[in-house]
């Protein structure tokens, strides 16, 4: 096996080396092949590196034991800005429906808002399962179109979880929003809407929000050994990229 | 043994019998040609019958939603083409409509007509790819050749219009970048007249074919209630007898001006889904014929500020993509970069219903069912 290292010099790697990568003019040899991370039971990849400028058997380890990046603090270079100066200019949602729901759930602090003709309800997280059950059984909202979340790290209850409901019968769409703090669970909606199963798994995967009572809450899109929840605002793409490359490949990622 | 009998009866044999069956876990994919990409399905089998199904997805995850939070509104438009890459035009339309709703702008009538034509052409192209690959999964080789030949004509139209065949980036926020090229109308009309004859030929080739019917009829049945519970949309819910199409239910981009029908199935099995998609291609052709004969004149771009700064707020806008309801939930914080873009992918939720459809089916039927869901893993994983 031979490789062109960028300085017009052919360097012969040993036969027993599996992977070769050229980075910033220096040739680095991987002792073991790169393998996928989807295999169960493997938490860290057994990849070790050494730098070779000439053919030699000397072993050097690049920066071992780097500290973990995911400590929950906010890095300086976030692409995300201070919270919006003016909040959303939503108007009150008047009508039969809000009055009916208020009458049915007098103990709950519900607010009914409307923005650009789209209606939404803000509700306490603990009551979400009851509310959804009522909407499905008595208000004909038979489809949970989508379930997602938004992260507002500066708020005391930083996560906003959004349930988008649709009624085939009335051809009407509403959103139900609840708020959750970092370490608070949200009751699952899987008993009411089976569609929530994968959607809640995705929200858990991306934000780390736990849904209590979910039958199989585990990562869905990312590998099981992935660290961190990438759609949280404190994680930037470059930080995650650097961290992954350094942890698994032992080199600088080259991205800034 | 029929599927219902199988589900009711537990196998009851004395212990230690040489006929004892044991559960076999079979891993299908992620590098399996009939999973249409990198889908891994873990099957628990009892003989030839499927006891349990688990989908393992995420092999194609690129973090599209995170990328959106690092790009301006306009910069993100090409990225959405990479989700459902066989229906890139629909992805772009949905995103542009969502941002237009957020900034309260409507595309001019000419732009809307062009959008409808290109989106419907893309729907035909997507269904053609589905039909060809679905047929080849079930052992019918020749439909793929016919489908690819017709799809090529559509891709040529895209290429002449915007220079790209697959990931088109055809639309911009507020309208279109490019005018129609000379000869667009004649090329589209010529394609359609040929295409409608071709679809009838494929009906002769497949619909009456006893092998085709035997592989699809009664396989992967979803009732209307199942579809609602699992938020299944698109041709799957229509095949189950629910006449729900967002182009009719909540018209966008001027769909209310066109005359077309929603094909609906009766039994909700794979064969009905096949028939629904075949008829949808005819209806799409009908829409394009109407649109191409009366393209309004005028501007193709609405007045949109060069630097987009939507007021703080959030919208959910969805369209009827070829696979089902494609929705965008966009949150703005008043800056030039979206605070959050959530994509509601139709394939993701349709794939979730695979478990419901496949339990009790034969292993070979799982291939037919995956084909009939019409998944694109770029969209499932995003």
A155 and B CB contact within 8 Å: no
Confidence of residue A85 (pLDDT cuts 50, 70, 90): low
B339 and A CB contact within 8 Å: yes
Alpha carbon separation from B136 to A10, A110, A221, B146 (Å, rounded): 47, 53, 28, 12
Neighbours of A125 (CB within 10 A): 19
- Residue-level pLDDT at A23: 44
Q: Using the beta-carbon criterion (under 8 Å), do B327 and A87 form an inter-chain contact?
A: no
The 3-state DSSP class for residue A111 equals: strand
Alpha carbon separation from B307 to A85, B79, B105, B335, B337 (Å, rounded): 18, 19, 14, 10, 10
Nearest to B230 among A84, A195, A231 (CB): A195
- Mean pLDDT is lowest, of A158-167, B38-47, B143-152, B283-292, for B38-47
Alpha carbon separation from A144 to A177, A221, B103, B312 (Å, rounded): 13, 20, 26, 25
The residues near B335 (Cβ < 8 Å, ≥ 6 apart) are: A81, A84, B309
Q: Using the beta-carbon criterion (under 8 Å), do A118 and B57 form an inter-chain contact?
A: no
Nearest to B229 among A80, A84, A195 (CB): A195
B184 and A CB contact within 8 Å: no
Per the prediction, chain A carries an average pLDDT of 73
The residues near B190 (Cβ < 8 Å, ≥ 6 apart) are: none
- Residue-level pLDDT at A149: 93
pTM: predicted TM-score of the whole model, two decimal places: 0.80
pLDDT surpassing 90 at residue A73: no
The neighbouring-strand residues paired with A159 are: A151, A180
pLDDT tens digits for range B160-174: 998 888 888 889 998
List CB contacts (< 8 A) between B344 and chain A: 145-146, 148, 164
Q: Using the beta-carbon criterion (under 8 Å), do B382 and A89 form an inter-chain contact?
A: no
pLDDT tens digits for range B121-141: 999 999 999 999 999 888 888
Q: Classify residue A202 by its DSSP letter.
A: H
**Under 8 Å between Cβ of B55 and B366:** no
List CB contacts (< 8 A) between B57 and chain A: 220-221
pLDDT tens digits for range B14-39: 555 555 667 788 888 787 777 777 88
For residues B82, B86, B88, B91, the Cα torsion angle rounded to the nearest 10 degrees is: -90
For chain B, give the percent of residues with pLDDT over 90: 35
Contacts 24+ apart (CB under 8 A), B259-263: B259/B286, B259/B290, B260/B284, B260/B286, B260/B287, B262/B238, B263/B238
Per the prediction, chain B carries an average pLDDT of 88
Burial (CB count within 10 angstroms: exposed 0-12, middle 13-18, buried 19+), residue A231: buried
Interface with chain A: mutation pick from B316, B325, B326, B348, highest number of A CBs within 10 Å: B316
- Mean pLDDT is lowest, of B44-48, B272-276, B342-346, for B44-48
For chain B, give the percent of residues with pLDDT over 70: 95
Angle formed by the axes of helices B88-102 and B109-137, to 10°? 140
pLDDT tens digits for range B284-319: 999 999 999 889 988 888 888 888 888 888 999 999
Tell me which chain A residue has its CA closest to the CA of residue B248.
A171
- Residue-level pLDDT at B116: 93
**Under 8 Å between Cβ of A245 and A251:** yes
Structure tokens at A28: 């680095």
What order do you get walking across the sheet with A118-122 strand by strand? A91-92, A111-115, A118-122, A172-180, A159-167, A143-151
Q: Using the beta-carbon criterion (under 8 Å), do B228 and A168 form an inter-chain contact?
A: yes
Separation of alpha carbons A97 and A185, rounded Å = 29
What order do you get walking across the sheet with B24-28 strand by strand? B24-28, B40-46, B49-56
The 3-state DSSP class for residue B315 equals: strand
- Residue-level pLDDT at A126: 87
A83 and B CB contact within 8 Å: yes
Give the B window 236-295 contacts with A, CB below 8 Å: 242, 244, 249-250
Contacts 24+ apart (CB under 8 A), B144-150: B146/B198, B146/B201, B146/B202, B146/B205, B150/B124, B150/B191, B150/B194, B150/B195, B150/B198
- Residue-level pLDDT at B126: 93
Separation of alpha carbons B370 and B350, rounded Å = 10
Length of chain B: 382
List CB contacts (< 8 A) between A219 and chain B: 58
């Amino acid at each position: 096996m031979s490789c062109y290292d960028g300085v017009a010099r052919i360097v012969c790697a040993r036969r027993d080396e599996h992977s070769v990568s050229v980075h910033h003019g220096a040739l680095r040899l991987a002792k073991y092949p790169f393998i996928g991370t989807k295999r169960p039971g493997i938490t860290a990849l057994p990849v070790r590196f050494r730098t070779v400028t000439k053919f030699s058997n000397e072993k050097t380890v690049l920066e071992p034991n780097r500290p973990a990046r995911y400590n929950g603090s906010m890095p300086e270079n976030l692409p995300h800005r201070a919270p919006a100066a003016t909040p959303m200019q939503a108007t009150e949602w008047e009508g039969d429906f809000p009055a009916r729901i208020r009458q049915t759930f007098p103990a709950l602090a519900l607010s009914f808002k409307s923005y650009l003709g789209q209606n939404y309800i803000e509700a306490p997280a603990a009551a979400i399962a009851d509310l959804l059950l009522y909407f499905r059984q008595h208000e004909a909202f038979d489809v949970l179109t989508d379930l997602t979340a938004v992260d507002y790290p500066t708020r005391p209850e930083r996560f906003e979880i959004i349930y988008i409901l649709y009624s085939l019968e009335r051809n009407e769409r509403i959103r139900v929003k609840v708020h959750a703090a970092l370490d608070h669970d949200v009751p699952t909606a899987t008993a009411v809407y089976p569609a929530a199963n994968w959607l809640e798994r995705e929200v858990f995967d991306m934000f780390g929000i736990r849904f209590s009572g979910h039958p199989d809450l585990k990562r869905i899109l990312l590998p099981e050994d992935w660290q961190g929840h990438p759609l949280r605002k404190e994680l930037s793409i470059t930080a995650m990229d650097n961290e992954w490359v350094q942890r698994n490949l032992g080199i600088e990622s080259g991205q800034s | 043994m029929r599927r219902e009998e199988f589900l009711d009866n537990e196998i009851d044999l004395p212990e230690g019998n040489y006929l004892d069956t044991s559960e076999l876990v079979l891993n299908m994919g992620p590098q399996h040609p009939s999973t249409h990409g990198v889908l891994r399905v873990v099957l628990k089998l009892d003989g030839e019958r499927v006891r349990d199904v688990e989908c393992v997805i995420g092999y194609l995850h690129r973090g599209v939603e995170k990328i959106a939070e690092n790009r301006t509104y306009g910069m993100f438009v090409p990225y959405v083409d990479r989700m459902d890459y066989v229906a890139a035009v629909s992805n772009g339309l949905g995103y542009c409509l969502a941002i237009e709703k957020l900034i309260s702008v409507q595309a001019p009538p000419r732009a809307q007509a062009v959008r409808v034509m290109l989106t419907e052409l893309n729907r035909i192209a997507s269904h053609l790819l589905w039909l060809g690959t679905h047929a080849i999964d079930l052992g019918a080789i020749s439909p793929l050749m016919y489908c690819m030949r017709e799809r090529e004509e559509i891709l040529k139209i895209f290429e002449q219009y915007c220079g790209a065949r697959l990931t088109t980036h055809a639309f911009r926020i507020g309208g279109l970048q490019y005018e129609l090229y000379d000869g667009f109308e004649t090329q589209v009309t010529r394609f359609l007249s040929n295409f409608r004859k071709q679809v009838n030929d494929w009906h002769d080739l497949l619909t009456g074919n006893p092998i085709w019917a035997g592989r699809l009829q009664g396989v992967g049945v979803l009732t209307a209630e199942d579809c609602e519970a699992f938020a299944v949309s698109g041709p799957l819910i229509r095949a189950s007898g629910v006449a729900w199409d967002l182009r009719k239910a909540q018209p966008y981009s001027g769909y209310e001006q066109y005359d077309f029908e929603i094909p609906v199935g009766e039994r909700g099995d794979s064969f009905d889904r096949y028939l629904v998609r075949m008829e949808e291609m005819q209806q799409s052709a009908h829409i394009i014929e109407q649109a191409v004969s009366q393209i309004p004149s005028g501007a193709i771009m609405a007045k949109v500020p060069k630097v987009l700064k939507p007021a703080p707020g959030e919208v959910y806008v969805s369209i009827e993509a070829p696979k089902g309801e494609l929705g965008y939930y966009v949150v703005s914080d008043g800056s030039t970069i979206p605070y959050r873009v959530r994509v509601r992918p139709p394939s993701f939720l349709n794939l979730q219903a695979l478990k419901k459809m496949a339990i009790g089916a034969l292993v070979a039927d799982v291939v037919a069912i995956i084909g009939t869901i019409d998944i694109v893993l770029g969209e499932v994983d995003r």
